[in-house]
Amino acid sequence: MLYNALIRTHHITSRKKVAVLKRAADTYNCFVLLRTGGCPGIMYVEGRSADDVGSWVGTVRNLRYKDFQLATRPGPVVRERKDVAKAVDEPEPGVREVESVKEFGALMEERGVWAWWRRGMGYAS
């Protein structure tokens, strides 16, 4: 079973903080997707245990990002589509960065969590 969480911040621009997030993703064996470079900063984390995801979220909290919001607490992943790729069901640990919210949303749709992400971001009720 996989677990995920979603975090919103004002922005993600510090390369030093991103390096800490990459180390934490490796340490806690988590897949992380970051929207960097501007407002808003978005972080999606997915891992094999709630403890790993929670520990990664704790690392983010300790970095004291401006306007840190835990949009969705760590919980089990519920795929909205059954036809997601095998690579999505067995994510490789590490960090992937994108520069636009549109690209981030497309990757959330690809992972089968698009409606969950939209609710977490406040785009849908």
Mean pLDDT of 105-121: 94
Say which residues have a Cβ less than 8 Å from residue 16's Cβ, sequence separation at least 6: none
Whether 76 has a pLDDT exceeding 80, the answer reads yes
What was the pLDDT predicted at 90? Answer: 75
Q: What is the mean pLDDT of residues 92-120?
A: 94
pLDDT for the residue 86: 65
- The answer to whether residue 109 scores a pLDDT higher than 70 is yes
Fold of 3-121: Alpha-Beta Plaits (3.30.70)
Instruction: Classify each residue of 26-49 as buried b or exposed e, where b means 16 or more C-beta atoms within 10 Å of its C-beta.
Output: eebbbbbbbbbeeeebbbbbbbbe
The residue ranking higher by pLDDT, 47 or 82, is 47
- Residue 38's pLDDT band, with cuts at 50, 70 and 90, is confident
